[in-house]
């Protein structure tokens, strides 16, 4: 059985690691409380993808009912296993349910008598013609219902069946007539039985008009964890596993954990798998990775073992494709089958929650009639690729690129004794230069988690103090002391607001003639760079660009890192102001050109791609959506390419997605949760 199966956990472990669905749990417990001496009559279905915690939720609900003094007196709950292999008909389902129920009940005289009556019913064999057998079976089924009513009468408790995978029980095991029988009993004996079940999604047997259980259930959905819930969940798991290093691990790997959340869609079971993989495989041993993949195999194998060959081939096509979403026509071409067969099986896979439709809009390269499909569980796609032995190095490298940073990979390459493992790490290094997985991880670390890093160095307090001091100096018209405060604050946290403050104050402090004199005189390189910064702030850079171009050869030789960092920020923010027409000088391509040139010289352990993303993010954050100058950004990119700078593919794709969000490229790639997260990050700041 899969390691992360909640059925393997103790009651204390279930309680300590229960995170997902707390609000839903509280709501249901409240609904179960007696109102005017009446108990809840509407049955409930909890929906959610595999691994989102549905089994965990039902067990927690069961424990909560039994621990509540009021509810325990009113309800008798029965938890069924995840798979009901023997429940091939209503007769077998009720027989199995009553067998389980009697094992849970106290051995009183009345209960014994009821159980004896039940066993006699089970001994009856169906004889005669098929019609007679059906009639006899229905009669026994109704007798089983009477046994349930009798148990209710004896115990004075309403029975709750906790049933998993209702889409299987209602969809394939029970016939339409049997479903009608079951609904009739639930309605006529509403004080006897309540069903609280789970399903992957709302399925046709409970939502289609004309079906027996149409409009019968109340639905609640479990979704993936958010960031805080993932942290809480892993801490709880660490405590349950008695892992003393868990808090330290989480603190040091918050960025990686957030990538896991995005990669798995917040799926608790898969997050736990990835955490286990990372925390115990720091060296990324190939044997260990393969063992972990093998450990995960039963979970994903269960997703596909009952599928037809055509359905399995469709999933394989979606997993192996270069892009994460495909149209039925593209799938049909890939598996060499007819469009009709593909459409028919996609509909079934959709109903089962194995695939999902990617929302698209009609555009010049996306037809209104086109529908794009992707696998519902994105990590299944990665698992499938990892298990493809002919591509094992490729996908291990992808995993390594996601888990380890450039410095860690470099060390592993040097110390590794295995040629195969070394090839994995080397490929991972190359992937980090172009793969958006790594870009997102860095963005998360540098952007959303930057406050944490600053607070660790106690720099955030210093920055706020500098801003306050600079503002006070400015209000007192002490501009000479105000500018250094804002410059130091800018070094701590690059913010456009701080750069604009420096530019505003510059006219009160800097002198154009003096700065040009320093730049053209026999002065130290550092002094000349500071003079260039002053001229940028005075909106006089365009006039001295030729002089600066000759100076830049000296900068390239000496690479003064502190001054390069300042120039990098000045050129980045000045480019943003020019794109937004907030600078007195035109031509954002000019300052963008030097932004990238300084970025290439700046040795701060970030890649060229990361610095480009920093520029894009700062631009989007500081620009109203309707004012985004996509033409200006395109011109900048074209200028960079003219200077033989190879831009990462994902950068160009993001640009296209912002320019044409309805384009085929943008919409197909939005099926990838990591790419979509980058787009959402950019859009959310616009």
Q: What is the pLDDT of residues 224-242, one digit of tens each?
A: 787 788 888 888 877 777 7
Q: Which residues pair with 358 in a beta bridge?
A: 372
Could you tell me which residues come within 8 angstroms of residue 335 by beta carbon, excluding any fewer than 6 positions away? 310, 313, 314, 316, 317, 342
Other Cβ atoms closer than 10 A to 600: 14
Predicted TM-score (pTM) of the model is 0.54
What is the DSSP code (8-state) at residue 605? S
For the chain, domain boundaries: 21-221
Mapping DSSP onto H, E and C, the string for 327-371 reads: CHHHHHHHHCCCHHHHHHHHHHHHHCCCEEEECCCCECCECCCCC
Over residues 430-445, mean pLDDT: 44
Quick check: 451 pLDDT over 50? Answer: no
- Percent of the chain scoring above 90 in pLDDT: 33
Closest to 327 (Cα-Cα) out of 365, 369, 373, 287: 373
Quickly count helices (H) and strands (E) in the chain. Answer: 37, 7
- Lowest mean pLDDT, pick from 9-23, 40-54, 289-303: 289-303
* Sheet of strand 218-221, all strands in order from the earlier edge strand to the far edge: 75-79, 158-163, 193-199, 44-47, 218-221
Max Cα-Cα span within the chain: 113
Distance (Å, whole) CA 530 – CA 518: 9
Average pLDDT on 472-481 reads: 83
C-alpha dist (Å) from residue 439 to 189, 648, 674: 58, 10, 9
- Whether 180 shows a pLDDT value over 50: the answer reads yes
Positive or negative torsion for Cα 549, 555, 556, 560: negative
Question: Which tens digits make up the pLDDT trace of 457-476?
Answer: 345 556 667 877 787 787 78
- Considering only 67-76, 86-95, 138-147, which range has the smallest mean pLDDT? 86-95
Task: Give mean pLDDT, residues 76-103.
Answer: 89
Give 92's DSSP letter: H
Contact 533, 566 (CB under 8 A): yes
- Contact, 502 vs 484, CB < 8 A? no
DSSP class of 326: B
Does residue 431 contact residue 397 with C-beta atoms inside 8 Å? yes
Rounded to whole angstroms, the Cα distance separating 560 from 139 reads 91
Whole-angstrom distance, CA of residue 373 vs CA of residue 351: 13
Q: Do 41 and 35 form a contact (C-beta atoms < 8 A)?
A: no
Please, which pLDDT band fits residue 331 given cuts at 50, 70 and 90? very high
- Across 46-55, 187-196, 459-468, 633-642, the highest mean pLDDT is recorded for 187-196
Going by pLDDT thresholds of 50, 70 and 90, the confidence category of residue 432 is low
CA atoms within 13 A on the CB side of 20: 29
With 70 as the cut, is the pLDDT of residue 569 above it? yes
Per-residue three-class SS string for 502-547: HHHHHHHHCCHHHHHHHHHCCCCHHHHHHHHHHHHHCCCCHHHHHH
Q: What per-residue confidence (pLDDT) applies to 292?
A: 56
| Mean predicted confidence (pLDDT) in 632-636 | 85
- Is 369's pLDDT higher than 80? no
Strands 193-199, 158-163: parallel, antiparallel or unpaired by DSSP? parallel
Q: How far apart are CA 292 and CA 476, in angstroms?
A: 64
Write the pLDDT tens digit of every residue in 573-587: 999 999 999 999 999
Distance CA(260)–CA(332), nearest Å, equals 32
Give the highest mean pLDDT range of 257-266, 333-342, 463-472: 333-342
**Which of these, 278, 119, 283, 93, lies nearest to 193 by C-alpha position?**
93
Q: What is the pLDDT of residues 603-622, one digit of tens each?
A: 877 777 678 878 877 887 77
pLDDT score at 476: 80
What residues have CB less than 8 Å from 586, skipping those under 6 apart?
542, 578
Regarding predicted confidence, which is higher, 480 or 652?
480
Question: By the 8 A CB rule, do 576 and 622 touch?
Answer: yes
State the Cα–Cα distance between residues 118 and 98, nearest whole angstrom. 8
Query: Which residues are registered as beta bridge partners of 355?
Result: 375
Cβ(649)–Cβ(585) below 8 Å: no
- Report the alpha-carbon distance of residue 389 to residue 585 in Å, rounded: 57
Please report which confidence band the pLDDT of residue 535 belongs to, taking 50, 70 and 90 as the band edges.
Answer: very high
**pLDDT tens digit string along 491-516?**
888 888 889 889 989 999 999 999 99
Q: What is the pLDDT of residue 356?
A: 80
pLDDT digits (tens, 9 = 90+) for 351-362: 777 888 876 667
For residue 643, the model assigns a pLDDT of: 72
Are the CB atoms for 250 and 234 separated by under 8 Å? yes
CA gap 478, 485 in Å, rounded: 11
Distance CA 492, CA 571 (A): 17
- Mean pLDDT (the chain) is 80
Measured in residues, the chain has a length of 686
Residue 188 pLDDT class (50, 70, 90 cuts): very high
Strand partners for 357 = 373
Contact indicator for 453, 315 with CB cutoff of 8 Å: no
Query: Is pLDDT above 70 for 260?
Result: no
Cα separation, 665 vs 653, whole angstroms = 8
* Domain 21-221 part of CATH 3.30.420.40: no
What distance in Å separates the CA atoms of residue 98 and residue 353, rounded to the nearest whole number? 31
pLDDT higher than threshold 70 for residue 650? no
| 332-342 average pLDDT score | 89
Of 98-102, 227-231, 630-634, which one has max mean pLDDT?
98-102
Q: Give the residue with greater pLDDT, 366 vs 679.
A: 366
CB 98 within 8 A of CB 118: yes
Q: Is the pLDDT of residue 280 over 60?
A: no
Residue 630 has pLDDT above 60, yes or no: yes
In DSSP terms, 77 is beta-bridged to 160
pLDDT tens for each residue of 70-81: 999 999 999 998
Please tell me the least confidently modeled range out of 114-123, 455-464, 591-600: 455-464
pLDDT at 572 over 90: yes
């Amino acid at each position: 059985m899969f390691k992360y199966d909640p059925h393997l956990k103790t009651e204390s472990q279930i309680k300590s690691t229960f995170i997902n669905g707390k609000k839903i749990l509280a709501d249901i417990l409240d609904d179960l409380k007696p109102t005017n001496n009446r108990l809840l009559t509407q049955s409930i279905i909890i929906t959610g993808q595999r691994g989102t915690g549905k089994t965990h939720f039902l067990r927690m609900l069961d424990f909560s009912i039994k621990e509540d003094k009021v509810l325990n007196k009113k309800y008798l709950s029965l938890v069924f296993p995840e798979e009901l292999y023997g429940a091939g008909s209503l007769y077998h389902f009720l027989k199995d349910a009553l067998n389980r129920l009697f094992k849970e009940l106290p051995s009183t005289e009345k209960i014994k008598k009821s159980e004896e009556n039940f066993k006699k019913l089970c001994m009856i064999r169906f004889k005669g013609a098929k019609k007679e057998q059906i009639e006899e079976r229905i009669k026994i089924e109704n007798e089983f219902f009477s046994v349930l009513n009798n148990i209710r009468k004896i115990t004075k408790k309403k029975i709750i069946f906790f049933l998993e995978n209702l889409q299987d029980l209602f969809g394939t095991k029970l016939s339409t007539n049997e479903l009608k029988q079951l609904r009739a009993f639930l309605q006529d004996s509403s004080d006897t039985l309540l069903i609280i079940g789970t399903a992957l999604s709302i399925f046709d047997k409970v939502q289609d008009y004309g079906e027996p259980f149409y409009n019968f259930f109340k639905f609640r959905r479990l979704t993936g964890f958010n960031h805080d819930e993932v942290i809480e969940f892993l801490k709880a798991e660490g405590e349950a596993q008695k892992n003393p290093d868990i808090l330290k691990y989480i603190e040091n790997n918050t960025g990686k954990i957030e990538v896991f959340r995005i990669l798995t869609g917040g799926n608790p079971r898969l997050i736990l798998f990835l955490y286990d993989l990372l925390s115990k495989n720091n060296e990324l041993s190939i044997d260990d990775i393969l063992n972990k993949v093998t450990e995960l195999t039963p979970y994903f194998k269960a997703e596909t073992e009952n599928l037809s060959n055509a359905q399995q081939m469709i999933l394989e096509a979606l997993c192996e494709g270069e892009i994460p979403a495909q149209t039925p026509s593209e799938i049909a071409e890939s598996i060499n089958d007819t469009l009709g067969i593909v459409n028919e099986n996609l509909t079934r896979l959709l109903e089962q929650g194995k695939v999902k439709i990617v929302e698209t809009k009609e555009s010049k390269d996306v037809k209104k009639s086109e529908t794009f499909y992707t696998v519902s569980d994105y990590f299944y796609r990665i698992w499938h690729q990892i298990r493809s032995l002919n591509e094992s190095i490729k996908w291990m490298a992808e995993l390594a690129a996601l888990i380890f940073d450039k410095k860690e990979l470099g060390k592993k390459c040097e110390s590794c004794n295995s040629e195969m493992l070394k090839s994995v790490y080397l490929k991972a290094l190359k992937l980090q230069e172009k793969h958006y997985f790594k870009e997102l991880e860095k963005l998360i670390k540098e952007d959303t988690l930057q406050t944490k890093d600053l607070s660790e160095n106690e720099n955030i307090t210093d920055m706020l103090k500098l801003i306050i001091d600079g503002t006070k100096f400015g209000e007192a018209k002490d501009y000479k002391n105000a500018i250094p405060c804002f410059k130091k604050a800018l070094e701590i946290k690059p913010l456009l607001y701080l750069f604009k403050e420096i530019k505003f104050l510059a006219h009160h402090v800097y002198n154009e003639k003096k700065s040009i004199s320093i730049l053209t005189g026999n002065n130290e390189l550092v002094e000349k760079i500071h003079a260039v910064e002053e001229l940028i702030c005075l909106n006089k850079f365009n006039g001295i660009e030729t002089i600066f171009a000759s100076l830049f050869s000296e900068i390239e030789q000496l690479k003064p890192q502190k001054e390069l960092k300042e120039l990098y920020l000045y050129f980045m923010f000045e480019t943003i102001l020019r794109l937004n027409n907030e600078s007195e000088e035109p031509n954002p391509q000019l300052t963008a050109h030097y932004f990238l040139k300084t970025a290439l010289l700046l040795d701060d352990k970030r890649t060229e791609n990361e610095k480009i993303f920093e520029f894009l993010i700062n631009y989007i954050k500081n620009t109203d959506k309707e004012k985004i100058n996509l033409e200006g950004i395109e011109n900048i990119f074209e200028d960079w390419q003219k200077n033989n700078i190879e831009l990462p593919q994902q950068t160009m794709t993001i640009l296209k997605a912002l320019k044409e969000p309805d384009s085929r490229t943008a919409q197909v790639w939005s099926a990838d949760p990591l790419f979509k997260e980058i787009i959402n990050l950019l859009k959310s700041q616009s």
